[in-house]
Structure 1
Amino acid sequence: METIDYGTGDLGRVRFVLSPLGHLIHGVHDGPCSRQSPWRQRWWPRARRQVSLGNGRLVPLINRAHPDAPAFLPLAIAGDAAAPTFEQELDQLRATPPHLLGYRLAAGSGPGPGRTDEADRLIRGLRNQEDASLRAVVDGLLALYRATLMADWPTVAERLQRDISMRQRQIQRHGALAMMTNLHSDITWRPRTDAEGPGPGLILAPCLFGQQRTHGGPGADGTQVVIYPTAELDESYTAPDDHLAALLGAGRAAVLRTLRVPASTSGLARRLGISAPMASTHATLLRNAGLVSTTRDGKSVRHDLTAVGRQLVELNPEGIEL
């Protein structure tokens, strides 16, 4: 049971965040909370096949035996953007003092499979304010995201947005406090009588990959973060083997599928939640393979599927279906 304090000024500053980094961490974490999620039950066995020695170095660190969720999860979610890209969240993590990340990791650890020598060295380095250890964590998260979640994030984000839209309608009809009270039975809301002024607000982050309970804690800027299970998860869900991702890689498969509707490089990046340089690299490789055509439109370029690329997408539907 989570007890979360709030001030009256916080009620006017409730905002929702879609977090790809938070979902990566929660999805990789093999605890009881994640194992309760039907989405995670189907996503992780397939995603795990993409994990290798090169991109999976942080899996033991994420799984450092906290029973429900990694203790540093709120650090990955706090931020100003309502739908940050993975790169934006990594930038925020880079700006986090290393010792704060190390402290959160150490506080949530215990005996178990996450206790590896490399994980211990990373935590010691973070607590000693070593920038190299922070870079290793950031680079490891990026490699893991590209291998596992990047192709599926647009579908996950669409489902999260439906939950947020429902909560926002509740706020409009009944107010923020009524919505918060009905957010989850695991939360007890406790008003702070001494709180004055506008307050720092509350960040609410819906989660598909954790369904046992909510998780709370301060983000990097001190704002209270509440990670809660999404509602109404009884929809049909299938996650067949993704042959297109196996052929091209998860990132390029996601780009190819996204280009069923033509897009500029920046538009492609926004749709997939990746950086523009990464989107450009994927598009170039697919163009060299004869699957994508690129035409210049003023100062920008327009990417579209070739006949071969479109046929390949049609023969290999999405890896996650709603």
Structure 2
Amino acid sequence: MPEDLSRTHVVSTSDPLWETLLSLQLSHSGDGRLVFGGWRRQVRSRTCRSVEAVLLPLSPPRGPSADLLTPAASTLGLEAGLEAVRATPLRLIRQDLHQLAAHHRLPAWTSLLADGEPRLLAVVAGALRAWHQAAVAPYQDHIDRRLDADRALRLRDARLGGPERVLAGLPPPLSWRPPTLVSRYPVDRDIHLDGRGLLLVPSFFCWRNPVTLIDAALPPVLVYPIEHDLEWLAHPDRPGARGERALAALLGGTRAAVLDTVGRGPVTTTGIAKQVHISAPSASEHASILRDAGLITTRRLGNTVLHSLSRAGAVLLDGARHD
């Protein structure tokens, strides 16, 4: 519908609760290791299991997440979003829990949430705040710069060709096939805008696939991934950053990532490929070069080949991490 195009726009600021939810999922899914491996290690050292125990049943690493965690008011800021979480209507809570229960077993305390226990909404809001402070807030300046860069591209497209050009310019796996925006998605689903338009939300912690709400009756939202700098954590004031950059310069970024992967424990060639997000032949080639340089060793156990750090590789990697 023409009014859908005219009402489609990109959110003007970072959405703190979408970043909180998606960073939680990303920290547990293991995806994006090359981009987020360093961030994940930092976050795991400062987060609390009790916070995760509250949030993960509502936002598991795979599958749908509760809409109550990402209210529309979050575009007005973290405090506005948390206030909206605490005021979530009982109908939406029950609908969310019903959807989640179809995918995984929910803990017993969620039955109290479904019964309308207001204290539990306050607990959920407190857990969101705690996770945001640990996983998002320390990196907010960089997140904002990357999101601003993406929004600048969308604004340029809007000036040059209006909403259709904005939709056509969205990153893969999104594809504009007028009058339909098509994407890869974990489940087969159609969302009809019916004149309501679409809010586009670029997200730093969204990885590979875009995300939307469970409830099709809510205002349509599409959260999509942005491009990342592979060395976004390599700042001079971060311990080990200088050594990591030197190692990448010496070996090349991908080969350094392969060495770091092997350094976390014996790993197969297939495991290297999955963790570094490269093909199996490429992983085999990098492992061969590192083995020839004396930085890793390789042994065969039956049909499995395992790569491990050599003494020289351990010294080199340890020096880079602690420089």
The equivalent of 1:78 in structure 2 is 72
Match of 1:238 among 233, 237, 243: 233
For 2:122 and 2:77, how far apart are their aligned partners in 1? Answer: 18
The Cα shift of 1:222 comes to 1.8
Give the 3-state SS of the residue equivalent to 1:216 in structure 2.
Answer: coil
Give the 3-state SS of the residue equivalent to 1:228 in structure 2.
Answer: strand
Unaligned runs of 5+ in 1: 1-6, 244-322
For 2:147 and 2:86, how far apart are their aligned partners in 1? Answer: 26
Normalised by the size of structure 1, how large is the TM-score? Answer: 0.58
The equivalent of 2:137 in structure 1 is 150
The equivalent of 1:87 in structure 2 is 79
CA displacement, residues 41-91 of structure 1 (integer Å, 9 cap, x when unaligned)? 332220111012454443432553534xx423585152484xx32112112
Match of 1:50 among 43, 46, 50: 46
8 Å contact 2:85–2:125 — kept in the other structure?
yes
Q: Structure 1: which amino acid aligns with 2:158?
A: I
8 Å contact 2:213–2:221 — kept in the other structure?
yes
The alignment-based identity, stated in percent, is 22
The Cα shift of 1:124 comes to 2.0
8 Å contact 1:103–1:127 — kept in the other structure?
no
The equivalent of 2:292 in structure 1 is none
For 2:47 and 2:20, how far apart are their aligned partners in 1? Answer: 13
Q: Structure 2: which amino acid aligns with 1:97?
A: P
Residues 1:168 and 2:155 aligned together: yes
Match of 1:9 among 3, 20, 37: 3
Unaligned runs of 5+ in 2: 181-191, 240-323
Q: Relative to structure 1, is the Cα distance of residues 183 and 50 closer, same or farther in structure 2, using a 3 angstrom cutoff?
A: same
Normalised by the size of structure 2, how large is the TM-score? Answer: 0.58
**Greater fraction of residues in helix:** 2
Residues 1:24 and 2:20 aligned together: yes
Q: Structure 1: which amino acid aligns with 2:207?
A: Q
The Cα shift of 1:175 comes to 1.4
8 Å contact 1:74–1:219 — kept in the other structure?
no
8 Å contact 2:86–2:122 — kept in the other structure?
yes
The Cα shift of 1:132 comes to 2.2
The Cα shift of 1:153 comes to 1.8
Q: Structure 2: which amino acid aligns with 1:25?
A: L
**Greater Cα shift, 20-29 or 7-16:** 7-16
The equivalent of 1:312 in structure 2 is none
Q: Structure 1: which amino acid aligns with 2:6?
A: G
The equivalent of 1:36 in structure 2 is 32
For 1:62 and 1:75, how far apart are their aligned partners in 2? Answer: 8
The Cα shift of 1:182 comes to 3.0
Higher relative contact order (CA 8 A, sep 6+): 1
For 2:5 and 2:216, how far apart are their aligned partners in 1? Answer: 20
8 Å contact 2:55–2:124 — kept in the other structure?
no
Q: Relative to structure 1, is the Cα distance of residues 220 and 164 closer, same or farther in structure 2, using a 3 angstrom cutoff?
A: same
CA displacement, residues 134-168 of structure 1 (integer Å, 9 cap, x when unaligned)? 12211111122223322222321221111011111
8 Å contact 2:90–2:114 — kept in the other structure?
yes
The Cα shift of 1:106 comes to 4.3
CA displacement, residues 179-235 of structure 1 (integer Å, 9 cap, x when unaligned)? 11331443466749x988xx433111112212221112367982100010113x245
Give the 3-state SS of the residue equivalent to 1:96 in structure 2.
Answer: coil
Q: Structure 2: which amino acid aligns with 1:161?
A: D
The Cα shift of 1:242 comes to 5.5
For 2:207 and 2:53, how far apart are their aligned partners in 1? Answer: 26
Number of residue pairs aligned between Structure 1 and Structure 2: 224
Q: Relative to structure 1, is the Cα distance of residues 16 and 101 closer, same or farther in structure 2, using a 3 angstrom cutoff?
A: farther
